[in-house]
Structure 1
Amino acid sequence: MAVPHAAFLATSQEYKRMMPGRIIGVSVDSSGKPALRMAMQTREQHIRRDKATSNICTAQALLANMAAMYAVYHGPEGLKTIAQRVHGLAGAFSVGLKKLGTAEVQGLPFFDTVKVKCADAHAIADAAYKSEINLRVVDAKTITVSFDETTTLEDVDELFKVFSGGKPVPFTTASLAPEVKNVIPSGLTRESPYLTHPIFNTYHTEHELLRYMHRLQSKDLSLCHSMIPLGSCTMKLNATSEMMPVTFPNFTDIHPFAPTEQSQGYQEMFDDLGNLLCTITGFDSFSLQPNAGAAGEYAGLMVIRAYHKARGDHHRDVCIIPVSAHGTNPASAAMCGMKIVAVGTDAKGNINVEELRKAAEANRDNLSALMVTYPSTHGVYEEGIDEICKIIHDNGGQVYMDGANMNAQVGLTSPGFIGADVCHLNLHKTFCIPHGGGGPGMGPIGVKKHLAPYLPSHPVVATGGIPAPDQSQPLGTISAAPWGSALILPISYTYIAMMGSKGLTDASKIAILNANYMAKRLENYYPILFRGVNGTVAHEFIVDLRGVKNTAGIEPEDVAKRLMDYGFHAPTMSWPVPGTLMIEPTESESKAELDRFCDALISIREEIAEIEKGKADIMNNVLKGAPHPPSLLMGNAWTKPYSREDAAFPASWLRVAKFWPSTGRVDNVYGDRNLVCTLLPASQVVEEQAAATA
């Protein structure tokens, strides 16, 4: 119904800092070698908040890689050949229609889509339907026919039979080839070279492409190697059984605008999944349209705005957002045209309820919504969450709950029970859709009954809430496809169906247990920043590193880079509190893996102690030097004051299996100043930039 997709956006240099996505820059590492890094990334949302240029969170990175590998494999000549063949099929169809004389080609020039004027568009579409061909009806007398690289000569022959009205066709598509001409104007014909980089001109056999992709893959640390303890990211197991439906042809080979009678399996899954999510969350209706968590935030707030406007409350545009909220929250509210009022937190990391009460009462005539995360972004269950929701409702507002931390709610409580009116779910976190590298993602929103009529719809395929509300006043369209990236929904559907009520509840319990076990093991070595009233954390917790900056000059980045030497991805760094690490183990990890990560952090604390005692240089030590790639360790010269063995093998398990970093410490400032949007070899780019800055 809609495969996950990647989109690419280009701009001129003057607008590059306003780009909503990610830009990869070429920097240098500690050895002076070229190193690619994310020069602009969406963490700017957390820094700039309501002044962020977008609320984009999930990038369809996996799909971007698929598109890129398509170009790598075919290369410039292969892509041109494919395009010429597609254009040729469209041209043959055009020539054939003229010979038949039953329809008239309009809209020259064309590339892959031919616009046809006919006597009865619906009759033609019905005839095509009987031949298992779907055509787009534009109006009563107009049809469009699109061709792509999967179209065969036989497909075009079948189209001629459709347009002939059942009469014999005196030619075949193949016989029309000599009469087919390129109808693209010369002014639109590309003459300049393209895809000149060696990457697009090297790997044109399957085994060579496989080797290239494997080399790239080997540079990535994944769940195949170790746990990825990113706080608020829920990097959990994506079971093979959940992933299998994504490969089923009857899921993959359906167009998003295919007639609903041709997608009954999808329709049944949408209904089942919507009802399951309602049961889990305590809501009355769900929209599956938003493509990511950030899109869900935007959609949820727009539903609230539509609700207020329908009641004549056009003036309600104030959104209260705690400073502990996710950084996408203020950006989403700003995109919806809301005025943002920030409220602080208390010493325990909870929302300051009295400050919130005063803000709600001061803005009661214009209050639109509160955006809140539960458990809080600080990793604790806010004891006053029900009171907070009541305060907002008493002052005429609606409660939007960020679903990023649903991993600590499922089966134990729910947004609807707590008092939220709308909430988005990160299916790519809590409900097991893989989101490594940034995507793909899905961010459906659930709402209470009074908001259900305002859920998104679509101008091509009518959609709305699941289950459908009694009436419908949809806010409009949020995503280009009616049900978002529908192809990946079977993953979450399968996960929920296989886990069942008990399994989902146990998953939440184990996630919370794992986080508390790790916090307990680490508390004698690092301060744990926030805890609930009973001394426990939720499903994630924050390790405070601000003290070691004073005693040893160690920053969170130093610990994060040193963890690479231990074979681990770092936790979330310096957010939501600067100078900290936020750790989320999820329910997927075994006690042995939790212990291994704790052992790594404890070992790093011992390395910090060496600095504090003066046994290691405060500026030149194993943390400041991390990570240590093979190129550095195997070099002829070793000038570090610590041994190569301490650098590379600080833990015993690394002797059995070691993940090697590709580069040394990357120069962040250099990378930020040298954004690269061209496909030159990295070494050439570095040379040119060095010359330019000299």
Structure 2
Amino acid sequence: MINDTSKEFIRRHIGPSEEDMGKMLKFIGANSLDDLIKKTVPEEILLNDKLKINNPTSEHESMKEVKIISEKNKLYKNYIGMGYYNTYMPNVILRNIYCNPGWYTAYTPYQPEVAQGRLEMLLNFQQMVIDFTGMDIANASLLDESTAAAEAIGLSRRLDKNNSNKIFISQDCNPQTIDVIKTRTEVFGLKLIIGDQDKDLSNVDGNIICGVISYPGTLGDIKDPSEAISKIHKKNGKAILVCDLLALAKLKTPTELGADIAVGNSQRFGIPMGFGGPHAAFFATKDENKRAMPGRIIGVSVDRLGKKALRMALQTREQHIRREKATSNICTAQALLAIISAGYAIYHGPKGINEIAERISKLAKSFADKIKKSGYELYSNSFFDTVTILTKNKTQNIYKNALRNGVNLRLVNENMLSVAFDERKNIEKTNELLKIFNSAESINETGKVVLSNIPKNLTRTSKYLTHPVFNSYHSETEMTRYLKKLEDSDIALNRSMISLGSCTMKLNAVSEMIPVTWNEFYEPHPFAPVEQMEGYRYLFTDLKNWLREITGFSGVSLQPNAGAQGEFAGLMIIRKYHLENNDKDRNVCLIPSSAHGTNPASAQMAGMKVVVIECDKDGNIDFKDLKTKAEQYSKNLSALMVTYPST
């Protein structure tokens, strides 16, 4: 008999041998794993049918299959922008953080004594964001730019004392950010005014909760937001700037311009686009707003010996303590990605970051100059890295010509194309791009480039990344030693078992982590044409079908990028169901007291009133209390939210 290797992955990944399992089963009085499951799971809910999903394959066969799937993705040169850019993750970070279980298997740092390394890197991330934005305080990351902007509106609403229900959003924000804000604010009956910050903001009557402005705008144009910020303040609102972190190396800080909150994405600091995620967003504000902030904040304290010690600070704002009264349902956010972005800033330092920013802007300026010489008109002459061209009746021809040459441009509308430059672009690629626009012009290395595209009154003069950590580790050797020192301050799966929690990466096998480093998965832009992404579509389809089979549901969304976001999405679906049935008053959500803190926090964000169901000491629901509460709130009952198995 030839041994079947299809199940060897389970043994290698989980660990216990047949002999080990036999001893454990004997100790607890079970004859087999099946017997243990039958004794554990109540008969009425025990699944007896076999799941209709693919048969297992060996680890090596699975890797081969995934590689074949990955090669279905077509890798085009991307100039789409819209908040996502190609970047280089330094190899020292790729090897020592991204591919290192000492970093990616560590648990949430609730126990600071075994998490000082991660806490230091998250503190570095916060300092990096504070330096670029000029704000007093920053959190340790959020999920993405769009939800960070929505969280900023949430903060503004919590602090609003004028009972206003109006929010102004500049039409220059990225469309995905506007869409998320629409979803997140609709439940509270807030009125969104989307328009031109120079013209329409003045016409808004009365007070507003806040104004959201993009700096630079989605089409790349740099406008001075100072006047718009002043108008927002005169209407007693908070001014929120959605920023590009790299652009802030060359542009005045949000604080200098008078903003109250700065949000954005740190993706272009060394994080691959990965067809849309994950990436670490940032959120920074003034010190006076800190108790209304969402997300983790890492603070500096002292231990019992008086030595410096780091810990999570102001935790009473968070869902695991405040539950439905929390500032957000955000839980672990994007710690690993925030750590990588902080590492990128540490490795390059202020000089390196400035050189990257300047080089990108010079490429954009050189391209813009040659395009104008070729007879095209620009949407704006003020930009950092994104040039938008009025292509008029040539738009479709140029766009299709780009696709034929393996290039993705942003098709803004039938009259405009947008081109975003990034760290991976160079003179050769820029000259290829000029040919796509049928330009006879070309750029050479010796030509002097003056960055007149960045307005003088908005040019940054203040310093950034002045802390020693950003000025000490610029060689691979120094960086490796620093990261190793931090890793040695933590406990992760490479040191011992971690008996805490369920919703972390600590159970991801190495063979599951390797494919995320492959270019075919690593590089695609989230807004690349779907026909170029057959590999991703294949994976999504398979995963959706498996989840349908496992859950028994017909509809599956892969969009939520965290467990708490999945809760929120589910509650929003329930809310929509009741609205479709004209049950507008159904807004009560029953949640057991043993539930994870994100449950009540998510319900509150979905506009629901949380009613707590009592539980016993083991976390089991008190059915008598459940029945009483269900009857008491029967006319307004919207949902019962149960963690299964319980927390």
Q: Which residue of 1 aligns with 2:127?
A: 275
Matches within 5 A, 1:240-319: 240-244=91-95, 245-256=97-108, 259-308=111-160, 312-313=161-162, 315-319=163-167
- For 1:393, give the aligned amino acid: H
Shift of 1:471: 11
Whether contact under 8 Å (1:452, 1:465) holds in the other structure is: no
Whether contact under 8 Å (1:545, 1:581) holds in the other structure is: yes
Whether contact under 8 Å (2:172, 2:219) holds in the other structure is: yes
In the alignment, the residues of structure 2 paired with residue 155 and residue 602 of structure 1 have an alpha-carbon distance, to the nearest angstrom, of 69
Q: Deviations over 1:8-54 (max 9, x none)?
A: xxxxxxxxxxxxxxxxxxxxxxxxxxxxxxxxxxxxxxxxxxxxxxx
Q: Which residue of 2 aligns with 1:593?
A: 429
Q: Pick the aligned partner of 2:273 from 425, 430, 435.
A: 435
Q: Pick the aligned partner of 1:481 from 322, 331, 335.
A: 331
SS in structure 1 opposite 2:117?
Answer: helix
Q: State the identity as a percent.
A: 16
Task: Give the aligned CA root-mean-square deviation in angstroms.
Answer: 4.0
- For 1:331, give the aligned amino acid: D
Q: Which residue of 2 aligns with 1:420?
A: 259
In the alignment, the residues of structure 2 paired with residue 465 and residue 454 of structure 1 have an alpha-carbon distance, to the nearest angstrom, of 15
In the alignment, the residues of structure 1 paired with residue 335 and residue 19 of structure 2 have an alpha-carbon distance, to the nearest angstrom, of 30
In the alignment, the residues of structure 2 paired with residue 469 and residue 256 of structure 1 have an alpha-carbon distance, to the nearest angstrom, of 14
Question: Quick one: structure 1 residues 452 and 173, their matched pair in 2 at CA, closer, same or farther if it must change by over 3 Å?
Answer: same
Q: Deviations over 1:386-444 (max 9, x none)?
A: 121112112211111112x3332225422222222112121123x22112211111112
SS in structure 1 opposite 2:437?
Answer: helix
Q: Which residue of 2 aligns with 1:610?
A: none
Q: Deviations over 1:78-118 (max 9, x none)?
A: 59x96xx99xxxxxxxxxxxxxxxxxxxxxxxxxxxxxxxx
SS in structure 2 opposite 1:417?
Answer: coil
Shift of 1:527: 2.9
What are structure 2's unaligned runs of at least 5 residues?
301-311, 319-324, 442-523, 533-539, 547-647
Q: Deviations over 1:523-557 (max 9, x none)?
A: 3446343123xxx4331011233323xxxxxx63x
Q: Pick the aligned partner of 1:320 from 137, 152, 168.
A: 168
Q: Which residue of 1 aligns with 2:571?
A: none
Q: Which residue of 1 aligns with 2:206?
A: 363
In the alignment, the residues of structure 1 paired with residue 261 and residue 15 of structure 2 have an alpha-carbon distance, to the nearest angstrom, of 42
Question: Quick one: structure 1 residues 583 and 228, their matched pair in 2 at CA, closer, same or farther if it must change by over 3 Å?
Answer: closer
What are structure 1's unaligned runs of at least 5 residues?
1-73, 87-147, 158-170, 345-350, 458-462, 549-554, 606-658, 668-674, 681-694
In the alignment, the residues of structure 2 paired with residue 425 and residue 322 of structure 1 have an alpha-carbon distance, to the nearest angstrom, of 15
Tell me, yes or no, if structure 1 residue 580 matches structure 2 residue 445: no
Shift of 1:272: 2.2
SS in structure 1 opposite 2:265?
Answer: coil
Question: Quick one: structure 1 residues 560 and 220, their matched pair in 2 at CA, closer, same or farther if it must change by over 3 Å?
Answer: farther
Aligned residues: 424
Shift of 1:228: 4.5
SS in structure 1 opposite 2:275?
Answer: helix
In the alignment, the residues of structure 2 paired with residue 471 and residue 193 of structure 1 have an alpha-carbon distance, to the nearest angstrom, of 44
Q: Pick the aligned partner of 1:507 from 336, 346, 356.
A: 356
Tell me, yes or no, if structure 1 residue 450 matches structure 2 residue 288: yes
TM-score (norm 2): 0.58
Q: Which residue of 2 aligns with 1:541?
A: 387
Q: Which residue of 1 aligns with 2:58?
A: 205
In the alignment, the residues of structure 1 paired with residue 406 and residue 378 of structure 2 have an alpha-carbon distance, to the nearest angstrom, of 25
TM-score (norm 1): 0.54
Tell me, yes or no, if structure 1 residue 188 matches structure 2 residue 26: no
Whether contact under 8 Å (2:139, 2:282) holds in the other structure is: yes
Shift of 1:233: 2.0
Tell me, yes or no, if structure 1 residue 395 matches structure 2 residue 235: yes
Q: Which residue of 2 aligns with 1:217?
A: 70
SS in structure 1 opposite 2:148?
Answer: helix
Q: Which residue of 2 aligns with 1:352?
A: 198
SS in structure 2 opposite 1:402?
Answer: strand
Matches within 5 A, 1:86-101: none
- For 1:596, give the aligned amino acid: E
In the alignment, the residues of structure 2 paired with residue 205 and residue 604 of structure 1 have an alpha-carbon distance, to the nearest angstrom, of 55
